[in-house]
């Protein structure tokens, strides 16, 4: 069977487990071929389907996330290695980078802090935008920090990005021009897709009954870490704009809301 024919077949099989079965099929096929998705589409549709494809499809049919199967996920302008134990970067989180770019304009933040950095997602994307900046990523997960360090090396940013284990802001000092955070914000009893609930780390997803526990810990301590003229940008669940804004205003912050590409509330800029 040709790659082209196999793609059609695999996409059909993935319909029950995926919102984007054709894209999933293409990513799995490209991974099995050892080429990029673009190269596969341009040059390999007439090739024989690779033998390793079926094993990859079986993993996806068991709801395993595509990013864990292929070992990577594109985010903003960078490619990140990811795997089990690490929160997979989402396109919605790119809203935080957009908000930071708008806030700083022609200026560049000198020091960036990423709280809950995961595989280095927000910090490394920000450092790609500001080549003179230095950054620190904090995470409670050793697995995540391992991926973050390897991603920094792969992107040539190891001299500018430092990663440390930590519990949000505890024990941190110094001042940062930009603080980024994508904390857990899912309520404990909220329904999630099987590929998220069964595979991604719960510690990076759930934050108490309302999904607000970590905001209540992080936001009150941000002021002492922000340099004059700096800002913090925090991701929120799309229903949480009012609740998290109230926490921030109580701590003396001016709040600006940013929406994601789906026009849902997604990030708050605190200044």
In the chain, beta strands by DSSP E: 72-75, 78-81, 111-115, 134-139, 161-165, 176-181, 226-235, 255-259, 265-270
pLDDT in tens, 49-101: 999 999 999 999 999 999 999 999 999 999 999 999 999 999 999 999 999 99
The whole-number pLDDT of residue 249 equals: 98
**50 lies in the same domain as 102:** no
**230 lies in the same domain as 99:** yes
For residues 136 and 105, what is the distance between their CA atoms, to the nearest angstrom?
A: 22
Q: What is the pLDDT along the chain (271 residues), one digit of tens a residue?
A: 999 999 999 999 999 999 999 999 999 999 999 999 999 999 999 999 999 999 999 999 999 999 999 999 999 999 999 999 999 999 999 999 999 999 999 999 999 999 999 999 999 999 999 999 999 999 999 999 999 999 999 999 999 999 999 999 999 999 999 999 999 999 998 999 999 999 999 999 999 999 999 999 999 999 999 999 999 999 999 999 999 999 999 999 999 999 999 999 999 999 9
**211 lies in the same domain as 242:** yes
**138 lies in the same domain as 226:** yes
**CATH code: domain of residue 137:** 3.40.50.150
Of 31, 83, 61, the C-alpha closest to 195 is 61
Number of domains composing the chain: 2
Contact between residue 31 and residue 52 where contact means Cβ atoms under 8 Å apart: no
**CATH code: domain of residue 22:** 1.10.8
- Confirm whether 110 is domain-assigned: yes
- Confirm whether 25 is domain-assigned: yes
Contact between residue 135 and residue 160 where contact means Cβ atoms under 8 Å apart: yes
Q: What domain range is 174 assigned to?
A: 79-270
- Confirm whether 72 is domain-assigned: no
For residues 67 and 125, what is the distance between their CA atoms, to the nearest angstrom?
A: 18
**47 lies in the same domain as 175:** no
**117 lies in the same domain as 153:** yes
């Amino acid at each position: 069977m040709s790659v082209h024919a196999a793609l059609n077949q695999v996409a059909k099989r993935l319909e029950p487990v995926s919102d984007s079965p054709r894209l999933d099929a293409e990513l799995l096929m490209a991974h099995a071929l050892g080429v990029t998705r673009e190269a596969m589409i341009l040059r390999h549709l007439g090739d024989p389907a690779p033998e390793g494809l079926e094993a990859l499809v079986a993993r996806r049919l068991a709801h395993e996330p595509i990013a864990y199967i292929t070992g990577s996920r594109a985010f903003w302008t960078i490619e990140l290695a990811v795997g089990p134990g690490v929160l997979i970067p989402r396109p919605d989180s790119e809203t935080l980078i957009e908000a930071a770019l708008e806030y700083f304009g022609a200026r560049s933040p000198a020091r960036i802090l990423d709280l809950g950095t995961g595989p280095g997602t927000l910090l490394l994307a920000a450092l790609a935008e500001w080549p003179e900046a230095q950054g620190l990523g904090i995470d409670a997960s050793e697995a995540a920090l391992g991926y973050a360090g390897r991603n920094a090396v792969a992107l040539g940013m190891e001299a500018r990005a430092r990663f440390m284990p930590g519990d949000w802001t505890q024990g941190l000092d110094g001042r940062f021009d930009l603080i980024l955070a994508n904390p857990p914000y899912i309520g404990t009893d909220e329904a999630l897709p099987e590929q998220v609930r069964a595979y991604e780390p719960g510690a990076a997803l759930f934050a108490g009954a309302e999904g607000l526990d970590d905001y209540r810990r992080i936001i009150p301590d941000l002021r002492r870490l922000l340099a004059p003229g700096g800002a913090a940008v925090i991701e929120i669940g799309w229903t949480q704009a009012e609740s998290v804004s109230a926490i921030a205003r109580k701590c003396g912050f001016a709040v600006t809301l940013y929406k994601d590409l789906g026009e849902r509330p997604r990030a708050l800029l605190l200044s």
